[in-house]
Amino acid sequence: MTQEWIGHHPTLTQDEILHMLEHDMEMAARDWSRAEGISHRFKHMRDHILATEMKLAEKKGFSKVGEQEREAKASGFYMNWINESSQAVETVEYYKHRYWTMKSRLDIFLNQQADERARV
């Protein structure tokens, strides 16, 4: 895969390719970190909304915690946050995969360079 990628950039020097691979990996790591932060905030808000909805359910007359939780989870507002949280988790997985792909490309490239130096 790395050879194919390098084949699309035949005019680049080894240093330029190394710089591009390192930059791609750094960008993927940054994106992954940002996605993790967003996902964490969504989870925090989802938990906060669940607690608020449970309090509202208690005011409606649901006295048992299980009843309050069922009622709270049935609310449309809470369901929207569940969907948003799920999408945030999927985004994290995408960027995590992208990071490891970039890291793999960089490792392959560095190993190829080491092999070439060892042959010389």
pLDDT, tens digit (0-9, with 9 covering 90-100), for 9-22: 677 788 888 898 89
Q: What's the pLDDT score for residue 8? A: 65
Q: Mean per-residue pLDDT for 21-25? A: 90
Q: Mean per-residue pLDDT for 73-78? A: 81
With tokens 């960008």, the residue in question is 27
pTM equals 0.68
Q: Kindly give, in sequence order, each residue whose CB lies less than 8 Å from that of residue 17, ignoring residues fewer than 6 positions away.
A: 6, 9, 109
Higher pLDDT, 10 or 86: 86
